[in-house]
Amino acid sequence: MPRPVRIELPNWAFDVAWKISEIRASCFKNRFQNKKIREFHKEKEYYDHIESIIGYLGDIACAIFLGIDPKRVIIDMIYSTNCLTHRDEYDLIYNGLKIDVKMEDYGRFHDKVLNDTIRSDELYGNRLINKAQWEENSKKIDIYVFGTFEKPFSYSYQLDKVESVYLVGFVEKSEIEEMEFSDITPAGGRLYTPAKIIPHEKLNHMNKLKELRKQENLSKKTYLPNKNNCGNIVNVLERIW
């Protein structure tokens, strides 16, 4: 049985993701630009925010899959980052588990990944966690979820046309904690930076995530509007959705 789970995005998802990305751009920039994806979006108004938009769409999809209100996730994120002035420590919390959602475009290997027939010695046969990202946030993360969109990006299929996300699987941090970093993939390619290289076949089925729970349940955590002056941002988003 293939691992991927298809999640329909709400019709407001792209516009909200773009607006959040615009607002936070004045405070910090994306550190990891994806040249391959950017090539297909050169004429788009949202070109400078592509990676952020992709990330937020993945967060929205994962929240929906886990039965969490994605609007609540977004609002909590706005308050927890002091009105988007710094990076968030994690993407969402479920049963006390802090989750990092990683989105990727698989190009011509898209169908093989979704059909669960990709081999680890093929291009895109492994999921990656960059060493710098791991060192920055792994102490705060319990689960890494991996996802993609319903099609590989092209000049005729761009980010503003996305309707759904496929969540292809996840790993628990404890499963990969002892894994060494490498800059050589099983396919023989060299990575720009070292990473934990996780064979796609080792991913857990997404449904298993719903069964996991941490003893300390942080999923009820909320951020009250009067703690800081983020209400104007929330009001802008509420007009979109």
Run means of pLDDT, 10 residues per run, the chain, 241 residues? 86 98 86 87 95 97 98 94 91 96 97 96 96 93 98 96 98 97 93 95 96 69 55 92 92
For residue 228, the model assigns a pLDDT of: 57
Contacts (Cβ under 8 Å, ≥6 apart) of 235: none
With vertex at residue 98, the alpha carbon angle to CA 150 and CA 78, rounded to the nearest 5 degrees, is 80
For residue 216, the model assigns a pLDDT of: 59
For residue 225, the model assigns a pLDDT of: 47
| Angle between helical axes of 231-240 and 13-24 (0-180°, round to 10) | 150
For residue 214, the model assigns a pLDDT of: 87
What's the number of CA atoms in the CB half-sphere (13 Å) around residue 197? 21
For residue 219, the model assigns a pLDDT of: 47
Instruction: List the one residue out of 227, 224, 217 whose CA is nearest residue 93.
Output: 217
